Chain A
Amino acid sequence: MSVIRVLSGRAWVWSFLGMFLVWLVTAVYTGGKGSADVITAALSFATFTVIVGIGQMFVITTGPGNVDLSIPSTIALSGAVAMKLMGSSNDMLAIGLAASLGCGLAVGIFNYLLIRVLRIPPIIATLSSSFLILSTAIAYGRGLKIKPPPMLAEFTTAQVGGVPILAIVIILFAILMSVVLNRTVYGRSVLAIGQNMRAAWLAGINVERIRFMTYVLSALLAAICGFLLSGFSGGASLNMGQEYLLASIAVVVIGGTSVAGGKANVPGIWGAAMFMFLLVTMLNTLGASAGIRLIMTGLIIVAVITIAGGDEPQR
């Protein structure tokens, strides 16, 4: 009984348990054939979800109503801008990365201005800015078929003993962000604001500066994701960010972060991203059609929030 209580107190453990379970089922079904490759693939693809998931997590943790809907369009814009600037040349790599980060910074600042100056609810603010960003990306990257610089392509697809290099980098990054969340003034402030924005302000936290930094962080991570993703998939495409809107929110929720704010978990995002990918793989292996895979994904999100959501004190 006490084991269950401890586990339910640490919701992120479930995402790892789930991950392990679906992997096991897949491995048993295939008789262990290719089960290592499955892990490699899962690591590769989950990496990108984790990058944007971490940004989304910080945004969601600042409290109810905070969510960044502009992540997909930022991915598209950053990818398009970087690819076009670099023109498949290794020499331009640094400039391309800088341009990507510049896009992210601009998006983050713009989102925050809409929220702060026009007092638009964050959901609507990031939604309307995503329209503008996506259009810019479409117009800028029209007919874009530029290959990424070879170095970038290599870096994003390289493996060491079946483990993608990029995944290792992002695991290290996740550890770093976990430290930022729990051990820095910024992270503590985010957690405080998410529990009670008014109390945080009255406890001496500069609420507006923290929210600004959070929206900029989310946009920057989306931009980095766009940059790496276009290297990984051999060029930028305009709809490459699409799936990350739902995925970024889903991994945050499944990873044990509270939608009511104030409680966040970075490792859970890795677990959830792996779980989501492996779940689809498992259903694939079992011969489930695309429709069933989608339905299962959706039902799991609803089930997780129904079980986890009711216990949280919602305000």
Chain B
Amino acid sequence: MRAYLTSPRFLRAALPAASFAILLAAIFYVQPRAMSYFGMNLMLQYTVPIALATIAQMFIITVNDLDLSIGPFVGLTACIGATLLADTPVLGLLALLACIAAYAALGALIHWRNLPSLVVTLGMSFVWLGIAVLILPTPGGTAPGWVKAIVGLKTPLVPFPIIAAIVIGIVVHVALMTSSYGAVLRGAGGNPRAIGRAGWSLLKIKMVMYAAAGFFGVLSGLSLIGLTSAADAHIADRYTLYAIAGVILGGGEFVGGRVSPIGAVIGAMTLTLTGSFLTFLKISPDWQIGAQGGILIIVLALRALINRREG
């Protein structure tokens, strides 16, 4: 048992949860009042959109690609949500479906021409932003009532963001980690040649993963306007970086198909908490992203340490 608890595999898996727990404990120590329904709700309310964007990024990273456009894409879906979806629901829904289809098409293009995802998604980030600006030139719009109602749900005992995060984590875990096709999808990140040799279509796999990323990007945008009520094309620009950081904090690796949906959700929560922690410490919010970068580096350093012991 002891050998298992100190094994690199266990340590790697436990690292995201441990960093989250340590941060949470530190917050409760500094500010005991945070240890309440209201306090938790306040600290973690932005977890939901960030976690959803992180999951979207995770699907892309699983197949050894990287999405630099997820932030602007979330911004675009937020703008569609706050305008088309609110005014003409059918049109809004179609627009959101088209967004997901566009993502699947990107996956196909990247596989077909063997393109670097970095540059393609970089270009697409301009496109998403441009469309968002066309739809909503100035900040505004209103979120559909039902979106606000869902996000603002008052759940008993445990605040909604925590329940939502757990549900997201479990649903994606079941789909990607325990389903039989999920194994094939992850295998395509681990050893694409072996997957191809076993007769699976790598094109289809890329399209499925990109479509899934698009789907979760849409959910992220909708949950975001549920919290803010109004939208703005630039509302989620930072999410690109958050989402990458969340996946890595959650124990995901950059290549090789080693990802963890539950870890990614925890990573997103850790990032969200960092901001609150600094507020409680009365450290200027200037340092918020610095602290997020610092945590990222510390966690990566710890992981390098664990891996070195293994190697």
A residues neighboring B (CB under 8 Å): 64, 67, 114, 117-121, 123-124, 127-132, 134-136, 138-139, 142, 246, 249-250, 253, 259-260, 289-302, 305-306, 309-310, 314
Contact = CB atoms under 8 A, between A and B. Distances in A.
A118 B301 contact: yes
A298 B123 contact: yes
Interface string B109-148: 1000111101110111111111111110100000000000
A124 B295 CA distance: 13
Contact of A305 (B115, B132, B296): B115
8 contacts: A121-B255, A127-B241, A128-B293, A132-B294, A139-B286, A139-B290, A294-B127, A299-B127
A292 B130 CA distance: 6
Contacts of A259: 116, 118-119
Nearest to B297: A128
A142 B286 CA distance: 8
B290 A294 contact: no
B304 interface: yes
A124 B245 CA distance: 8
A291 B119 contact: no
Given A114-B297, A120-B297, A139-B287, 15 more contacts: A118-B304, A127-B241, A127-B296, A129-B297, A131-B294, A132-B297, A135-B290, A259-B118, A259-B119, A291-B137, A294-B126, A294-B130, A298-B128, A309-B114, A309-B119
A43 to B, nearest CB: 23
B178 interface: no
B292 interface: yes
Contacts, number: 151
Contacts of A129: 293, 297
A66 B126 CA distance: 22
A218 to B, nearest CB: 16
Given A290-B133, A292-B134, A124 B123 contact: no
A131 B127 contact: no
B115 A310 contact: yes
Contacts of B123: 250, 297-302, 305
Given A246-B125, A289-B134, A301 B119 contact: yes
Given A67-B118, A298-B123, A310-B114, A124 B289 contact: no
- Top 9 A-B residue pairs of the complex, sorted by shortest distance between their CB atoms: A135-B290, A131-B293, A298-B126, A294-B130, A301-B123, A291-B134, A295-B130, A298-B127, A291-B133
Given A127-B245, A131-B290, A291 B116 contact: no
Given A299-B123, A301-B119, A127 B130 contact: no
B264 interface: no
Interface size class of B (residues with CB under 8 A): 35 or more
A278 B293 CA distance: 36
Could you say which of A128, A290, A301 has the most chain B C-beta atoms within 10 Å of its C-beta? Answer: A128
A150 B290 CA distance: 33
B114 A293 contact: no
B288 interface: yes
Nearest to A295: B130
B124 to A, nearest CB: 6
Interface of B: 66, 109, 113-116, 118-120, 122-135, 137, 241, 244-245, 248, 254-255, 284, 286-294, 296-297, 300-301, 304, 307
Contact of B122 (A295, A301, A306): A301
Contacts of B254: 121, 123-124
A130 B293 contact: yes
A19 B83 CA distance: 37
A10 to B, nearest CB: 20
Nearest to A121: B254
Contact of A135 (B115, B132, B134, B288): B288
A164 B254 CA distance: 43
A123 B125 CA distance: 17
Nearest to B305: A118
B223 to A, nearest CB: 24
Contact of B124 (A117, A290, A292, A302): A302
Contacts of B241: 127, 131
Could you say which of A121, A289, A298 has the most chain B C-beta atoms within 10 Å of its C-beta? Answer: A298
Given A118-B300, A299-B123, A128 B290 contact: no
Nearest to A110: B297
A142 B301 CA distance: 30
A258 to B, nearest CB: 10
Contacts of B134: 289, 291-292, 295
Contacts of A305: 115-116, 119-120, 123
A293 B288 CA distance: 33
A298 B115 contact: no
Contacts of B122: 246, 249-250, 301
Contacts of B296: 124, 127-128, 131
A55 to B, nearest CB: 17
A298 B129 CA distance: 9
Contacts of B248: 124
Contacts of B120: 302, 305-306
A285 B116 CA distance: 33
A123 B307 CA distance: 20
A295 B135 CA distance: 12
Contact of B290 (A134, A295, A299, A314): A134
Given A124-B254, A129-B293, A298-B125, A289 B133 contact: yes
A310 B113 contact: yes
A297 B297 CA distance: 33
A294 B286 contact: no
A301 B128 CA distance: 13
